[in-house]
Chains A and B, each alone.
Chain A
Amino acid sequence: MPSLPQGLAAGAARGAGRLSQKLGRGGGTTIPGLLLNRLRPEATAEMALAVPGGVILLSGTNGKTTTARLVRAALDASGTRVVANTAGSNLERGVATALLNAEGAEVALFEVDEAALPGLIAQTRPRIVTLMNLFRDQLDRYGELEHLVDRWRDAVAELDPAATVIYNADDPAVAEIAARHPNSVSYGIEDPRVGRDRLPHAADTTECRHCGASLHYEMVTIAHLGRWSCSECGLARVQPDVRATRVELHGLDGQRLAIATPQGPIELSLRLPGMHNSYNALAATATAVALSLTPETIGPALAKREAAFGRAERTQIDKVKVTTLLAKNPAGANENIRTMLLEDHPLHLLVLLNDRTADGQDISWIWDVDYEMLLDSDQLASLTVSGDRAYDMALRFRYAGFEPDRLSVVPSVPAALNAALQSSSSTGDLYVLPTYTALLEFQAVLADRGLVPSFWEDR
């Protein structure tokens, strides 16, 4: 099909989005972009070029949605008009859909699926690319981590040399990719008190990128992230430009961070829990610094932000406090568990495992999660498993040593929520760990109870 003129293609795509919303087929966050890319393949590149302040792309296995929201908060606070794909529609079509509404925007800010990043770098010619982390995730969909590393490296090599690469210095794979680019800002965690001295089970990328020797870790933060060096060839983590010199984790309530930046220090009270969110705040701060925002703007703006959809989101159901923690790969699930264990009360747990396309159809990843931490802690008061693959989740806990008669297996999500609420009414703290499509299902169950807005209303 020949390419349609821009105005015509955009008009048709916008119309399709309104129709989709009217028909109740979703929020219209992907259909317009999908149609637009068909009608006029060059439309994304043209629309991106028309944004006067340029395009910012953020990508990584974990933390994209939260980090994009934090950067958005800082830009909003500075009075910059932003167009963004905040509903988490992070493939080419989601970016195209967002760009359809870019009129009047000074800057475009997109969180991007890690496999879609190379294509979107080529199309949008970004001014800033923020490379957050690469963890083992959805092997059936993304393939091996190493292939993704290779694709990112090739994409970064194609960047305009004047573009800025923001990168996580604590991730050796990401650091190696970014180090080749002439213009970069690094970030990382410096506080030795939050580090561990041993790599967890689900660690990838633990060999030196230059010589293949095993990396030495002075401290480990999450999975293979930390203060690394190679004792063979001397390759080592650089001291980050933006760094957390103090990290105080306050359970699910959040944390306090002391961040050093080239523009001065930031004392940040963050309402987001866990060390994964320390990294998200650092990525957002480094990106905001590269956008010439000041520490005085960044700190208060980030402090106001609440959790994104399903990321440590809290809801009250009768007497029970329900906290939802999206868990879709080993690194993310391990951080959620460690954050829960910072609480000093009994934990009631509802784990929702689906195996649909957006979750990854291969569920072997649950065996790489260290659920054993929960069993070792004595804090686990009740456990309900649910979702399309509830019985696989049950087996994961059975072989971890959890007594099967203490385990409730309830494949239907609404019924599982009722069962879990019943178990937790005595102490009142229920933690829900869903995969991505299970989170959508769970939120629909909550919406039926009139408790949360639908996700495309999230901004």
Chain B
Amino acid sequence: MSIGQPTVRLCHLYPEHLNIYADRGNIAVFQRRLEWRALSLEVVEVGLGDPIPSDCHLYYLGGGQDRDQMLVADDLVQKANPLRHAAHDGAVVLGVCGGYQLLGHCYSGADGRSMPGIGLLDLETTAGSSRLIGDVVLDVTLGGQTRTVVGYENHAGRTHLGGGCTPLGHVRRGHGNNGDDGCEGAVAGRCLGTYLHGPLLPKNPWMADTLLGWALEHAGFGVDLEPLDDGLESAAHGAAATRAGRKR
């Protein structure tokens, strides 16, 4: 990294425990899309017992197995204050799948046990009797633009939003937050959560660039992200949308 090159500092939370749906693909997208524009990404990995830095521009929480998510939840609620402060000051937060649930108030399991969340998003999740699995197509509005977002979902949790956040997208194909209300994910300011993996960002580069733009702005760099050749991304996006529209 050269001196003076705009750098986004990303805090990757629990990379060893929350990585079940190829979360490192999302991190790779952040990194490459900055590098291709002569910008850079610095990754701070935070595991069980490590303190969370408050000076990162982007925070990422992936998905994990139930057992791992339980371990992480207890650790995270004890040390989440720097993350809350950073989010309050305008840092970007992205939670996917289990990470999305952890950003809410709590997760009530099928066995009656409850797992705490950190309440950055005003939502609650309860375990359903079946898993919601399959291809998803959404209409997502972010930063004043509406685009199609594609991905794959696989979750037992049924998430319901409170008044403090809005849905990330509206479901055109798939189940979404709970299979009932046609909504998927949640947004409050620059804090986002979604069930979509696949991973999420490689096939939705517009979303990646929107988040990176916010993170750069929060970092104090007035950088316009120049367009990249996203031919392969568009083709993969199209293939996933076609797949979602077809009966399996």
Contacts and interface: CB of A to CB of B under 8 A. Distances in A.
Nearest to B237: A391
A15 interface: no
A146 B236 contact: no
A355 interface: yes
Contact of B232 (A136, A143, A146, A395): A395
B29 interface: yes
A165 B67 CA distance: 27
A390 B22 CA distance: 18
Nearest to A365: B22
Given A143-B131, A368-B22, A392 B239 contact: yes
A364 B21 contact: yes
Nearest to A145: B65
A196 interface: no
A367 interface: yes
Contacts of B20: 136, 139, 144
A364 B71 contact: no
B154 A139 contact: yes
A140 B174 CA distance: 14
Interface string A126-145: 00000000001001100111
A409 B24 contact: no
A404 B240 CA distance: 20
Given A144-B66, A363-B198, A201 B239 contact: no
A395 B133 CA distance: 23
Nearest to B28: A399
Nearest to A203: B16
A101 interface: no
Given A146-B65, A146-B66, A362-B152, A395 B71 contact: no
A398 B19 CA distance: 20
A395 B228 CA distance: 14
B199 A367 contact: yes
A400 interface: yes
A231 interface: no
B236 A367 contact: no
Contacts of A365: 22
A119 interface: no
B158 interface: no
A409 B232 contact: yes
Contacts of A361: 134-135, 152, 248
A383 interface: no
Given A146-B65, A391-B239, A364 B152 contact: yes
A182 interface: no
Contacts of B25: 364, 367, 396, 399
Given A364-B198, A395-B236, A146 B67 contact: yes
A400 B67 CA distance: 30
Nearest to B236: A391
Contact of A395 (B131, B135, B202): B202
Interface string B32-61: 100000000000000000000000000000
B235 interface: yes
Contacts of B16: 206
A291 interface: no
B233 interface: yes
B65 A144 contact: yes
Contact of A391 (B65, B66, B67, B232): B232
A212 B48 CA distance: 12
B65 A212 contact: no
Contact of B239 (A136, A366, A389): A389
A392 B236 contact: yes
A438 interface: no
A112 interface: no
Interface in B188-228: 197-199, 202-203
A398 B31 CA distance: 12
A52 interface: no
A178 interface: no
Contact of A394 (B131, B198, B232, B248): B232
Nearest to A201: B24
Name which of B131, B229, B235 has the most chain A CB atoms within 10 A of its CB: B235
B243 interface: yes
A107 B199 CA distance: 46
B111 to A, nearest CB: 13
Interface string A379-405: 000000000111110111011110010
Nearest to B234: A391
Contacts of B65: 144-146, 204
A212 B68 CA distance: 10
Contacts of A400: 28
A204 to B, nearest CB: 8
A357 interface: yes
A136 B20 CA distance: 9
Given A361-B152, A364-B25, A396-B202, 13 more contacts: A144-B20, A144-B65, A361-B134, A362-B21, A362-B152, A362-B198, A366-B22, A367-B24, A388-B239, A391-B235, A391-B238, A392-B236, A395-B232
11 contacts: A146-B67, A207-B71, A361-B152, A362-B154, A364-B21, A367-B199, A394-B235, A399-B28, A400-B28, A401-B32, A404-B229
Interface of B: 16, 19-22, 24-25, 28-29, 32, 65-67, 71, 131, 133-135, 152, 154, 197-199, 202-203, 229, 231-233, 235-236, 238-240, 243, 248
